[in-house]
Structure 1
Amino acid sequence: MEVTIKSNIKWLIAKSGLTQRQVAEKMKISPQQLNNWASGKEFPRIDKAIILCKIIGCSLNDLYEITWY
């Protein structure tokens, strides 16, 4: 199983019309933390992923792309 989130975060944030900095401020996290998620260095905890989805207007299914093999 492979979970792809990094490209989805970048694309979904861009689609929302917000910048990564604006999203980070709304989430009350550092821009570096959000950048770590967007670059694939870290994955957000589920509670943070839910907040991210609410802010950028997407579902968890949109955020997480899971490939089973």
Structure 2
Amino acid sequence: MLILLSICLLSQPSQCREDKIDLSFEARSPAICLRNSQSAIAKWQEEHPEWHVTKWRCAVRGSQPRDL
């Protein structure tokens, strides 16, 4: 599973992009992704303090991406 993120710079909120968190487990269950997403996003945020997560969603690895 992947967590797809929409992120914006704190210093320039109009500068946004998308990023992803590749979860280490292969489970294809959205419920498992949702259960683990908060801690994964918090860790990502600690590692990228200049960015702010504005939106996110879980997606199956290999699925056709769509806009957040």
Q: Give the TM-score normalised by structure 2.
A: 0.29
Largest Rg, 1 or 2: 2
Whichever structure has more strand as a proportion of its residues is 2
Whichever structure has more helix as a proportion of its residues is 1
Q: Give the TM-score normalised by structure 1.
A: 0.29
